[in-house]
Structures are given as C-alpha cells and as structure tokens.
Structure 1
C-alpha cells in the first residue's frame, strides 16, 4: 500500500470531497488477476458502494468475488453479471446493513474485497493491443511443459529470527518441500555467523530425500549473527559445481531463494561489496530471489541484489499469514515454463521499447512489453517470441493489427483512449527507476533525470515526485494546488515503527524518566505535566514499576559521571534496566551495551548496533540501531527505551538510557513504583502563582496528597522524536527528590538487585 499525507484547511460547517484516481498494471499471478480493495471505514458509511467493470477483448474465462468480511447477511448484496467480454460487480450495503448490531456504531465492513479473474488465451503469441501509435504485448502462452528446477534455499537463522519468524519459516519450508516435483533438485543452507549445509551437493526431490529434509527443517532454530555473503556464495558454488559435473540436468533452471530479516553483520558486511561478490560469482547463470522478512530488513539492498542476478525481491510482512506469504511466493516461481525469453519486433517499425528480454516465464504469470510505433498509421507488423523450453526451444511469430477500441466499446472509449501510451510510460519509468539504483554514476544520473521528466510529463507519483491535489475552479479561478507528499520506504517504515510513540496526539498519557534522572508525568486530561528528579549515589537500583497482580516488575540502576566535574555536582543516569513478566516467563536485561532476553528458558542476546525485531508468543521487541528498543508485552504495557550515546572520550559523561511507558491503563490498579504509582492519575491543585528565583520560572503552591508544596514552573526534555536534542515539556517541578508527590521517600524504592523487590 502507498501512504500519502494531505493537509488542508476547511471552513467551519463546510464539506470537502476528495477524489483519488488510481491506475494499476494488474500483475498476473497463479493464473489470475486480482483487484483488491481494502475496506476499513471504522464506522458505518451513509453512502457506501464498490462498483467494478471489467472489459477484456480476449474474453473472460472466469470471475470470482469474495471478501474477508462477507457474512451470510452481506453475501447476497454482491451483484455479479458476466458476459463473454464484460463483467460487472457491485456491492452497496445500506447504512443499517453495515452495522454489527441495530443502531450501534460498529461496522461489519472490515477487511479486503477481492475480485479474481482471468482471460481466454487462445494463441501462443499472446494479446497485442495497438492504440494511437503505442502498443502493449501481453504474453502468457497456454499448454507449455514445466521446466525442472534446481533450487538452493538459503535461510537466515540468526538471533533476530527468534519467535514467530523462525516458526513461520519452518512451517513454510515444510509445505514447500511437500510440493517439490520429483524431477527437481534442491539444497538447504542455513546461516547465522556460521554456514551449515544439509548436504554438500544438490539432492533429487525423491520422497525419501524430501522426508529427510523435512526432519532437518523441524530442528531449525535461531542463533548467532548474519553472514549473508558467505551463505550466498556457498549456494552459487554448489550449483555451478553440480552443473559442471553433470549431477543436475543441463536443461533446467537454477535458482537461489534467500530468506533473511536483517542486515549482514558478520564476515562481509558492506551491502555493495556483497552485491559485487554475488554478481561476479554468479556470472548470470542463475536467478536469485530474495525474501525480506519484517519491517527492519534492508529491502533496497535485497532488491538490487536480486535484480543484478536475474531475480526479484519480495517483502514478507510479519503477521499471522506470513507462512502463506512465503509459500505463495515459492508457488509463483517454482514452475518455470520458459527461460531466456525474447520478444522481437521490427526494428524499422518500433522504437522506445520497454524491457523485452526476460530470464524466465513462470506458470500462471505474464510478460508485458510496450513500445512506440514509428509510423502511427502502421496497420500490420510482425511479432516473434523465442525462448528455451523443457524439451525443445519455443518459437512463435505472427502479424498483428490495430483495432478501433472506440468502436468495439463506444461507451467505454475513455478507458481505451490512451491507456497503451500511459502503460508504456509507466513501464519505462519503473525500469528507469531500477537503473537509477545500479550502474555508473552517469548512468544513475541519466536514468533519474529521465524518470523524473517522464513522471512529470505523465503525472505519475513516483519516489521522485509528489502528488498534486487541485481544487475545482471557482469564480476567482483555480486555487493554488496542494502537494501531497508520498512517504518514502524509509519514512513509511519509520511511521509504522513509531506510530503511537510521539506524545503529540497520543490518546493516553506517557510516563518517562530520562536524563539526570528526570521523571516526567504527562497528564493530557489536564493539559499539564509534573516532574521531579531523583538523586542518589551511582550504583543504586530503584523500582520504577511493580504490578504484583500481573507479575510485571521494572527496576533501573543509575551510573555516575566518569569523574567529579569542577562544580562538584555528580550527574547520575539510568544505564541498566531489568524487566520481568512472571506470568509470561519473560526476563529482559537492557544496558547501554547490550540486550538480553529470556523467555521460557530460552535466551536471546542482541546488540545496539543492529536493527532487528523479534516476535514471540508473549512479547514483541523492535530494536532500532543505536536509537531505541520497543518492548510490547502481550495485552499489556509497552516500554520504550532510548539509547543516548556520548562521545567515548568525553572527560565526564557516559552513555545512558531513557525509559518511557505507554498503554499503562492496561495494568492493574495496584501498580506502584517511582513511575507506576502515577499510572492511574493524580489529583492536585496549583494556586498562588508568583515570581521565582529565575524570571522565566515562576513558583506556585501545590496541594497534593495532603501536602502543601512549593513548586516551580519549568521544563524537562522528551527525547522520543529527537534522541540528540529532545523537546521541551513544560511541567510543575517538585523539589527534594519528589518529596510530597511520591508515596514515602525515594529511599523506599531502593532494592538490592536488578530483578529483586527488596
């Protein structure tokens, strides 16, 4: 999905309507096209309708409609009419039909509305459409024999694959091995900082071998670092050696499927060097397909790596269906029909061709080529397609001619008017964008400039452009256009990663301790905040959160400066936290140098210099390199720990940590601790505002917990948005280690160990 941000000002009591026109080249996969509409309105809609009209000159072979939210009540509301070349689908539930219950505000519409269909494929040449001097060639020949494959599975088992990822990988691999054909050969290479091969050569996919391989996969577990470079090169050597020694068929397709969730951090770690090593070792002999698991993987690195080796990359999104995504991708590429496919057109008739050479054509997929005709009046031209099949070479040629789609579909002329030209432009831009990521500096620069020029000419939103939002003309002419900024991949990941972490606009309060150590209690319902400092000697361990009912405990240990500064004041900071969830069997130790997690007796060690994520049964962890650690306990509180790195040769200061809590309303009323006691709010009253010692920091009198305190209006820093500089939060500062606002004294919260309560 793409994400856009649009900001507009709307006058009071007025209406505004946004109309978004979306164009998409449907990709044929598994023998069908899919039109997917994500439906998540969050509330019943006064006028809701989905209407789809399909026009296919080749003829429609079938149409299937389904949705993840269609109940027995909603299913009859889907109207479907299909003729030889047209299909009409409509879904328009009334306001009451959308409701989960009579009169309530919850909606049944929550999921995906999906239309799948395919077209008749009578000729081996495919379908060629010529309109207004541009042509598009859709090539998907029927009735071809499958070519055997030699596939090496290169699987990441590093520590970041812990939890759901490794489990889902096991499940997917067991299903994939079940589907291998007996004429195929396969190998399994597991890697972390070490490389382990199931067998040293390719193995024929007999029932006995597959059964043995499945037993091997069942023992797959996570450990260690990420040595992508050596694992890939081992797979290349295995394929090349077995091919040279004729242990695998000569007329077969070689491929490597890489599954990883992280950045290389062992052996060769430079992505560009890994790409160069792989390209040099491969020499164009095999295809590399890369599957990037999760949000933290460097997808750009995998994408270039695959494209330089006759393959493609695919992102696998974490979730309950990740196993199906992995299996589905393999199903797409596991049945090659042709290799080295070339689509040829007369040199004297066609120019500005999009890519017309393809390494493979897979069963159920489709090749699309577009180009511009030199003579707009050309009526016939010769088309030829050649490729390598399983038993013999494939070759077909024929002449084609332009059709008047306006006559064939007079009512839908607007659809066919210039679609071939826009499709040609779209494919050209996509290929230029790919070239802009590889090649020499001049080639990258030229490709980028040309892609930008065409994007602006044809009004395409690309990573190089923004979406222009125009307002209807008024008596004062058209208003200035608005720009809707498209998020880059990095921005999208960051938005997903940190959504809900910024205090602005977050629905529940945040409680934090950061700096020397400054405690901040946000109170959104009062549009205010309270803050206090806790000072003690370095090495002291405090209880920050203790919820005996849920079994959650968080302790923190402070550390002092390297030496006493000239002013004699010793600054202390939190540098280590111990987190326990007894009910889940979870224990984490987080320090400025490392992270260690124990869940149900299994330990995982992480380092701050990596970006990674772990998804367990009861706890999720998201580690952003040298920045932050997000810990989400199932159905409970979320903790965010920030790493503040200090110049290592600084004469006084050390690295330290900040601790932030979210979703605290999910804890029990008995929660306590230096932070925990404030999770369910605090009542206070501030009066008698008066000048303080510093003009910009007035004093006041606060009545809280039966005490009358002198407080000062000041500010503390929130570092969630900016780890280096932070943002000021204005608050009422309580002096003397929080005396009067915390229960008891600060010394009451001192414990003897990082995971102890006394």
Structure 2
C-alpha cells in the first residue's frame, strides 16, 4: 500500500437557523493516538450554508497482518453556547486499488454497529474494493458511539493484499521504485525475550494492575520452544530467575503467579535494569533464534545512574547490535525522547502506552507485533538502484511489512535487479523473484506518487537519524530533511507552511507542535527565507501533498455552496484566525481573514530568589497543559491548563491523589471525585478524604495532601483565571514540575552589568523586564530579569507539557 488520499467525512450544508450569525466550531485537542486534532471557527450568517471538506494523504502501515484506515467522524459536536440542530447529509466513500490483489476487507468501529451497519455497502473485485457509508439522519443517532447530536465515533476499514513467499511487490514509475516485502508461509523462529518491568512508586494502582494483566496475557502466548526472563525494578533489581527459562507450561504457570504479585514501590533505576536484561540475553545465545529485550517504564531514571547520555551509552555497549531493544513509555510523565533515542540506537522502536482503560490491550497489542519473528539480519539489495531508504533490518515479524524506496539509475528498468538476503529458521535465504508493475497516473493515482513516497520515507529516516547525532552532523541531517520537506511540501517538526494570499490580502502561518503539546509556540519554524507556497485550487488539490512522518496531516477547506472560486484556507494546529463570511445576492462567499498572523499567547512566570532583587521571570507560550507538580512518594500529580488569554494564568487545574481521588478546579467551582462515586462540590464546608483536605474560600482554594499544601488563587472579575502557589513543599527530593522549582541564586556579571547573570556556574544573557506576581492576591507589578524558560527549567519546556489533565 502506498500513499492513500482521502476526502474524509463530507458533512455538507451546515445551516444557521437563527436570526443572527452564529459560529461553527470543530473540536480542538492535541496529538492523540491515531490522529491529530485541530480547531477552527467560522462565522456563518443567518440562514446560510457552508460545506466543510477535509482532505489528507496518508502512508498506510501494515500491522497484525492488515492495513487499517481509521476515519474519525464527529461532525455534530455541541459547542459551549450553541447546539447544531440537524445535519442534512454525511457520507464516506473509500476506494482501494491494489495491483497485488485484495485478500480480504472488513469494516469495523463504533460507526458500524446497530442501525448504522445498514448504512454500509461493500463491493469487492480482485484488485479493487468500494466501501460506501451513507447514513440517514435517523441512523446517525443510533450506534454504539452516537447520541442525539449525531455521529461521534470511528469507521475502520481493514484489509490486506494477496501475498506469496517470494520477494513481494515492486512498483516503478518515472525513475523511482517502491518495494513492499512481506513474505508469507515462513516458519516462525523461536525467540529469547526478556521483559524489564518498572515497579517504582509511580506505577502504583491502575498502571501496575494493567501491566500485570498484560504480562499474564503475553506469557500465555509464548510457544514452548521460546525462552524468556522477567526482571522487575525500582531502585533495586529483582530477577524472577537468574537465567532464561524455557516456556514450558510449568514455568509459565510459575511466571504468571509471580506476575500477579508484582507491587509498586521505590525509585527508578533504569540503567541497571536494562543492563541486567541485556546480560541475560548475552549469556543465553541460541542458534536459529531471535532475541528481544522489552523495557516498560513510566518515569525518568531517579536512582543509580541518572545521566541520560551515560545510560544510553552503557546500553548501546551492552547490546552491541546483537538484538533490538523496544522501550515502552507508560503515560506522559515519562521522558519519551530518551526512550525513543535509546530504542533507535539499538535497532528497536519506542512506543508510548497511553494511560487509559485499555492500556493492557495496548501493551499486548505491541507485543503481538513482535511476537513472531520470521527472519533476522534482513538485507535489501538493489543493483541499479540509488538514493535508497533504509535497507538493513534486524528482524522481520509476521504480520508486518518492510518498505524500501529509491531511484532507478538512469531510469533503466532492465538493469534494475532487486534481491533480499535474510536468515530464516531453516538458514540463509535469498529472495529474488517478484512481481514488478509500472504505476501510471490515473483517476486514482496521482503523478509523482512513488517519488513522494521515497521523499516521505527519506525525510522520516533523516529525522530519526537526527535524534542519534549531535553537533555539526545533527545540523547537516536536519538541513537535508528540511530541504527535502520544503521541496515536497511535507510538514515536519522543522517546517511549517506559509500560505500566500492573492495580492492585497494577508498571509497565515501554520505551525505544527510536537507530541504532547496543544499549541506551544516556544519553537516557531517558518518555511525557509521568505519561501511561500501557492494555495492550490480545488481542481489542483487532488495532486496536492501535505504529509508528516509521524501522524496524518490534514487540510481543512472551507468552500462555499455554489462553486464560487474562493481560495481554501489551510489551517494547522495553533489557535487559528477567525474568519468572516460575506455573502452576495447569489449566496457566494469570500473568506476574509480578520488577522494575518498568530500572536503568541504568552504567560509570564516569576521565580523568586533567595534574598536577591529583582526576581527572575520566564515566559511559556501557548494554550498548553503543564505539569505543575509530581510527587511520586505521595502519588500526587498536579496539572494545569493555561488560558488562551494573554497573561491570563490557568483556566483549569486538576489534582490527582493516588489512583482514584481527583480534585478539579476551574474558575466557577471546585469538585472532588472519589472513584466511581458522584462528584462532590466544595462549598463553604471543607471536604476531607483520607490525607486530602480541600477548603474553598471563594477567591482562594486551599488544598492539602499530607504535608504538601497548595493554594490556588482566583484572579480577575469578568475574565477570571487561576494561579497555583506551593505554600508547603513536599519533603521528597524526587518532586518535579513548575511549582517544584527552588528559589534562584544568581550573580550579576560585572563586566557587562545588567545584561548577563551567572546561575549554576553558567552565564546567560537576560533582559530587564517586568511581570505581574500572581502568587499574591494583590497581583503586584514587579521588576524582574527575563530569562529563557529552558534555562530556568534546566530542560526543554516540552518536558513539562502533558497531553491531558
């Protein structure tokens, strides 16, 4: 499967039935598991209609023996001040064309249940499949994930192509090729697998329960010819057995009994734990087997060796390229960049496990991807090929797929000879016979398709390589990725899109945040030196490519009813501009931007000093979710959502105590949630649950958890916002977060008074500025030294950004 281009759920004719104009909102969130959400708002005049059309392009990935196209259909979301009354029509059309032939196709998801199942039609030929989804108004309200406001769920189209045990399928076009390698009917290779499980205090409760459940399920799936080991760790290392043991029924039963007894406690010594896992695998080599090391952790290293670079170096030396390391980061408090880099250094991948009710299914789902190795030491060879993407792979697993793209030298297909050499259970194998097909532009395949696939894979691998490098080498690879991204119009963490309006109009700048951010603007990238991109017309859009290496990127197009040739507006993931829609007598519309660019939403924090004046201050940009305080010893998490109003503080703060106790604070009320019990609103009387006490004094919410005391001040009259103050610090040294910052100590550098400060033996340029001190009810204006947030925090601001409250 190559790039697939979709016009997603087409929900036409959104109608205003009020006398006055109203605003249509699409929802806004952040990077999710399988999508990236965004938001935009459009003013719609009374009794008028507008069509919303969503177009994007995606490279399908084969896992568990199938491709999945997941269509998120949530067109009828209610908004704060208005509910849409009805939806005239919604439809989804999916067309799949595979030269290799289609072995099966199925439609799943919440939108395929109950009455909505009758809205799906499916037609299959050897090489083609059509899936149509045309729900009536009544059907849109009856499914597992629907309600009175209509569709609110996913439609998942699942399929796979016909496969043989040969070299696979190679497509060629215009001097480029793409090779899909996924041989079938190969015998499985027995494996040696070691699971390294974090049991530190932060894993307490639901995380630990889900990990135990997933581990027991995984143990059930081990074949008797496999060998395995279990290591649990906190600040100490515990081996279930000192050596790998065979997966006999007796050993598996004992291992499952052990898994049921794993309890969370202590700190986190990742370095020693991973080294012990590597040591077990190195001590138990077996011919014709595949070794795998899997680490699951939810936190940063806090015990033993805590320097991230040292840990990565130690692990790389211990593994020495002999087997892959897969790092699973549980939740959003984990330093995922550290885990991802360590995985890539050792031929593995990093995977985030989302804290949710299905976390155990995510864990077992990942394991199933690597549970059945079929080949090791896979080398892809292309005589007559050049500018190849990755060609060496440590292992190939059942249900997956290896994809390689490149250029054909001099576009001479006669001298282009592909070959794959690998080691199977039966020894060394060579794959050389294949089906080669030429891709030509048609109504369903755009010109330059394979060239874009090659560029996409190349950029993706450049970005992964950049994670492993430093200094000049890193900058060189980033530059190559940037140049290729600009050439092919890809949105990456290092590029954004500048859309040029017709002369006399303004320009919108789109920015793509990193994972875990909502609209953080501390890193702003622009396309080159004044480079711009022409806005495609509707007819040109079919061949328009907007792709990002990690998630699907989408284009939202606002087009009028009646076909008026206005330019579509392209929106990214930073609070987009407002639009007015003006109408003429024929109901045609123009999009008129009210502001040309996005002004950063800035929030200024004050860091008090130890008997020094002035204080330090730093800015955090964007409507982001921040980690305010995390005390693992008390299982205490405090997260806050910054307001969209400049210098407006927080609009919501959530406090987690252990696994089933929650305090939610916004500008209107304070509620305490205990397990499944109904929420209690905190009024004049204090609420006490265990070690938690909450007192609501109106403009001051006092929250105590053991010896920790946090006061949340409510500022403002009309536009209220919250500001948290840590009145009593936790005693634990492992506490982190914005509120955990200790008072600063600095010295002014006398050679250049007022421009440099020395902090922690480092010198940094500062700016004389001012800030409002919201930590007091008076909100006094103070003088401060403005300093970069990354320097104050001693790590990137992104490390303090969480995905959800």
Return the TM-score normalized by structure 2. Answer: 0.63
Task: Give the match's secondary structure for 1:384.
Answer: strand
Deviation at 1:481, TM superposition (A): 4.0
Judge conservation of contact 1:576–1:591 (CA < 8 Å) in 2.
Answer: no
Find 2:418's aligned residue among 383, 387, 397: 383
Equivalent residue, structure 2, for 1:57: 99
Contact 1:351 1:374 in 2 (8 A): yes
Of 202, 208, 212, 1:170 maps to: 212
Equivalent positions of 1:337-736 (< 5 A) are 337-346=374-383, 349-379=384-414, 381-398=416-433, 401-406=436-441, 410-412=442-444, 415-469=445-499, 479-492=505-518, 495=624, 501-502=641-642, 546-547=685-686, 554=693, 578=706, 592-594=728-730, 607=732, 609-610=734-735, 625-627=736-738, 642-643=739-740, 645-647=742-744, 715-716=778-779
- Cα distance in structure 2, aligned partners of 1:497 and 1:724: 19
Q: Secondary structure of the equivalent of 2:59?
A: coil
Which residue of structure 2 lines up, in the alignment, with residue 292 of structure 1? Answer: 329
Aligned-pair distance for 1:443? Answer: 1.9
Q: Which moved more, 1:361-370 or 1:47-56?
A: 47-56
Change in Cα spacing, 1:548 to 1:522, as seen in structure 2 (3 Å) is closer
CA RMSD of aligned residues (A): 3.9
Structure 2 distance, partners of 1:251, 1:724, is 57
For each residue in 1:284-322, what CA deviation from the matched residue of structure 2 results, as whole angstroms up to 9, or x when unmatched? 111101111111111111111011111111111111111
Which residues of structure 2 form unaligned runs of 5+? 1-31, 79-85, 521-623, 628-638, 655-664, 670-681, 709-725, 748-776, 790-805
1:257 aligns with 2:288: no
**Matching residue within 324, 327, 338 for 1:301:** 338
TM-fit CA distance, 1:609: 3.9
Q: Offset of 1:398 from its aligned partner?
A: 3.3
Structure 1 position 554, deviation (Å): 2.3
For 2:643 and 2:742, the matched residues in 1 are separated by 22
- Is 1:66 the counterpart of 2:108? The answer is yes
Equivalent residue for 1:741?
Answer: none
> 2:120 — aligned with what?
78
CA 1:547–1:345 in structure 2 vs 1: closer, same or farther (change >3 Å)?
A: same
Q: 1:41-120 to 2 correspondence within 5 Å?
A: 41=75, 42=77, 45-99=87-141, 106-120=148-162
Cα distance change, pair 175–276 in 1 and its aligned pair in 2 (3 A): same
CA contact 2:642–2:652 (8 Å) conserved in 1: no
Q: CA deviation at 1:418?
A: 1.6
Aligned CA distance change for structure 1 residues 554 and 365 (closer, same or farther; 3 Å): same
State how far apart, in whole Å, the 1-side matches of 2:500 and 2:50 are.
Answer: 12
| TM-superposed deviation, 1:492 | 4.2
Relative to structure 1, the CA distance from residue 66 to residue 314 in structure 2 (aligned partners, 3 Å threshold; closer, same or farther) is same
Q: Does the C-alpha gap of structure 1 residues 352 and 159 become closer, same or farther in structure 2, counting only changes over 3 Å?
A: same
Paired with 2:233 and 2:690, the residues of 1 have a C-alpha distance of 37
Which string of whole-angstrom CA distances, capped at 9 and with x for unpartnered residues, describes residues 601-639 of structure 1? Answer: xxxxxx4644xxxxxxxxxxxxxx232xxxxxxxxxxxx
Quote the offset at 1:372 in angstroms: 0.8
Query: 2:309 matched to which residue of 1?
Result: 272
- The answer to which of 276-285 and 394-403 deviates more is 394-403
User: Aligned to 2:87, what secondary structure does the other structure show?
Assistant: coil
CA distance in 2: counterparts of 1:723 and 1:170, whole angstroms: 47
2:72 aligned partner: 38
1:188 is the counterpart of 2:230? yes
Residues 233 and 99 of structure 1: is their aligned pair in 2 closer, same or farther, counting only changes over 3 Å?
same
Check whether the contact 2:386–2:408 (CA below 8 A) recurs between aligned residues: yes
SS of residue in 1 equivalent to 2:487 = helix
Could you say if the C-alpha distance between residues 522 and 85 of structure 1 is closer, same or farther in structure 2, counting changes exceeding 3 Å? closer
1:546 & 1:56 partners in 2: Cα distance?
A: 66
For 1:592 and 1:447, the matched residues in 2 are separated by 47
Preserved CA contact (<8 Å) 2:197 2:231: yes
On the 8 A contact 1:189/1:198 being kept in 2, the answer is yes
The answer to whether structure 1 residue 311 and structure 2 residue 341 are counterparts is no
**In 1, are the aligned partners of 2:293 and 2:323 still within 8 Å (CA)?**
yes
For the Cα contact (< 8 Å) 2:67–2:159, is it kept in 1?
yes
Distance 1:394 1:430 in 2: 29
| Secondary structure in 2 matching 1:393 | strand
TM-superposed CA distance for 1:134, in Å, is 0.5
Question: Aligned equivalents of 2:299 and 2:359: distance in 1?
Answer: 16
Deviates more, 1:386-395 or 1:133-142: 386-395
1:554-593 Cα offsets, whole Å, 9 max, x none, are 2689xxxxxxxxxxxxxx998965599xxxxxxxxx9744
Structure 1 alignment gaps of length 5 or more? 244-248, 513-520, 526-542, 558-571, 581-589, 596-606, 611-624, 628-641, 651-713, 727-758
Matched residue, 2:767: none
CA deviation after TM superposition for structure 1 residue 96, in Å: 3.3
Q: 1:157 maps to which residue?
A: 199
* Mapped contact 2:686–2:693 kept (Cα < 8 A): no
Task: Tell me if the contact between 2:685 and 2:695 (Cα under 8 Å) persists in the aligned partners.
Answer: no
Q: Determine helix, strand or coil for the equivalent of 1:450.
A: helix
Change (3 A) 1:404 1:420: closer
Return closer, same or farther for 1:234/1:459 CA change in 2, 3 Å cut-off: same
> Secondary structure of the residue that 2:511 maps to in structure 1?
strand
Q: Deviations over 1:12-69 (max 9, x none)?
A: 6687666543222211111111111122332553332221110100000000101224
TM-score normalised per structure 1: 0.67
Q: Distance in 2 between matches of 1:95 and 1:267?
A: 61
Question: In the aligned structure 2, how far is the partner of 1:643 from the partner of 1:140?
Answer: 50
Shift of 1:374: 2.0
Distance 1:241 1:717 in 2: 64
| Counterpart-to-counterpart distance in 2, 1:311 and 1:724 | 38
Cα distance between partner residues in 1 of 2:388 and 2:125: 34
- Report the CA distance between 1:123 and its aligned residue: 4.9
Task: Report which of the two structures shows the higher radius of gyration computed on alpha carbons.
Answer: 1
Query: Which whole-Å CA distance do the structure 2 matches of 1:553 and 1:165 have between them?
Result: 22
Q: Distance in 2 between matches of 1:522 and 1:145?
A: 58
* Alpha-carbon shift at residue 4 of structure 1 (Å): 6.4
1:555 and 1:579 in contact (8 A); partners too: no
